[in-house]
């Protein structure tokens, strides 16, 4: 009688792997189900607090939009309208050859019932027009030789504009020079030069900083600034005779 080998007996590896995969998948889904169930329970438990929090957030957003549309924007427009009069006087004073002092005074204090720069700062100080009024007030006081107020208002002014920001700092330096505080002037000239690199204000205030450093016997600092003008801003007005200043600084530094 013929005999045959019995098949079976061992479970194939593929079958084991399949069982393990199904088992792992089941565990993952069970874990996810448990997590989801706990999350649902937590949400149900804290539903009232969640709704309150969402309502508060919505009110804050809506309030911010309403404040911007109905308070900030009208205030900005109103301030800009009020700035027109003193700005005109300020610009006329900047270009005037005579009677500039009276024009700067009108710009600061206003006239004929119109607001001056100081009124705009008092009433609209947080607006863009109010910020610009601080700059113009500082320059006006500088031109009127009121250096303390010039420093005060220019320090209150803030701008990321590469020209205005630098000029504000540089003019503070000029004011400190006028009240015989060259160390403070040097600090502000350096800030002005390094505020935002450009071909006009950077060499201008490097030059002023260099000359102030020379007066303070900081010859190596002066030399560094003069050489920076020569190397980086050789087409600037300050670069035209910079070799003379470099030689002076070198001789003084020996």
**Which residue from 174, 183, 178, 180 is spatially nearest to 154, judged by alpha carbons?**
174
pLDDT of residue 98: 72
pLDDT of residue 70: 38
Please state the rounded mean pLDDT for residues 22-39.
Answer: 59
pLDDT of residue 99: 81
Average predicted confidence (pLDDT) for the chain: 84
Greater confidence (15 vs 108) lies with 108
pTM reported for the whole predicted model: 0.74
Fold of domain 159-254 = 1.25.40
pLDDT of residue 43: 58
Task: Determine the distance from the C-alpha atom of residue 61 to the mean position of all C-alpha atoms in its chain, rounded to a whole number.
Answer: 25
Quote the CA–CA distance of 92 and 86 in Å, as a whole number.
10
* C-alpha dihedral, 82 to 85 to 88 to 93, nearest 10°: -120
Please state the rounded mean pLDDT for residues 31-38.
Answer: 60
pLDDT of residue 4: 44
Show Cβ contacts of residue 78 under 8 Å, excluding neighbours closer than 6 positions: 124
Please state the rounded mean pLDDT for residues 26-45.
Answer: 61
pLDDT of residue 123: 95
Greater confidence (224 vs 38) lies with 224
Residues 116-166: tens digit of each pLDDT: 999 999 999 999 999 999 999 999 999 999 999 999 999 999 999 999 999
Greater confidence (35 vs 219) lies with 219
Helices 73-95 + 128-143 axis angle, to 10: 20
Please state the rounded mean pLDDT for residues 96-102.
Answer: 84
Quote the CA–CA distance of 50 and 148 in Å, as a whole number.
55
Please state the rounded mean pLDDT for residues 37-54.
Answer: 64
Share of the chain above pLDDT 90, in %: 66
Cβ–Cβ under 8 Å, residues 145 and 96: no
Quote the CA–CA distance of 147 and 112 in Å, as a whole number.
27
Helices 100-109 + 73-95 axis angle, to 10: 170
Domain ranges within the chain, ordered by starting residue: 46-158, 159-254
């Amino acid at each position: 009688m013929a005999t045959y080998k019995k098949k079976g007996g061992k479970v194939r590896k593929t079958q084991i792997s399949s069982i393990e995969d199904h088992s792992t998948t089941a565990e993952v889904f069970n874990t996810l189900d448990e997590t989801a169930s706990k999350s649902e329970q937590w949400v149900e438990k804290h539903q009232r607090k969640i709704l309150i929090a969402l309502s508060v957030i919505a009110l804050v957003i809506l309030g911010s939009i309403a404040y911007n549309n109905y308070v900030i924007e009208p205030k900005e427009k109103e301030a800009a309208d009020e700035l027109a009069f003193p700005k005109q006087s300020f610009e006329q004073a900047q270009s005037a050859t005579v009677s500039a002092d009276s024009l700067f005074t009108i710009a600061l204090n206003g006239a004929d019932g119109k607001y001056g720069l100081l009124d705009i700062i008092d009433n609209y100080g947080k607006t863009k027009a109010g910020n610009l009024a601080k700059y113009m007030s500082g320059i006006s006081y500088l031109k009127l030789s009121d250096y303390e107020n010039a420093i005060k208002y220019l320090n209150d002014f803030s701008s990321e504009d590469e020209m205005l920001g630098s000029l504000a700092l540089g003019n503070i330096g000029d004011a400190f020079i006028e009240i015989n505080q060259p160390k403070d002037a040097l600090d502000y000239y350096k800030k002005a030069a390094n505020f935002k690199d450009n071909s006009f204000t950077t060499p201008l205030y490097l030059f002023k900083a260099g000359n102030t450093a020379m007066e303070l016997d900081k010859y190596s600092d002066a030399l560094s600034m003069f050489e920076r003008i020569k190397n980086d801003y050789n087409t600037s007005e300050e670069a035209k005779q910079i070799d003379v200043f470099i030689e002076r600084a070198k001789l003084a530094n020996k």
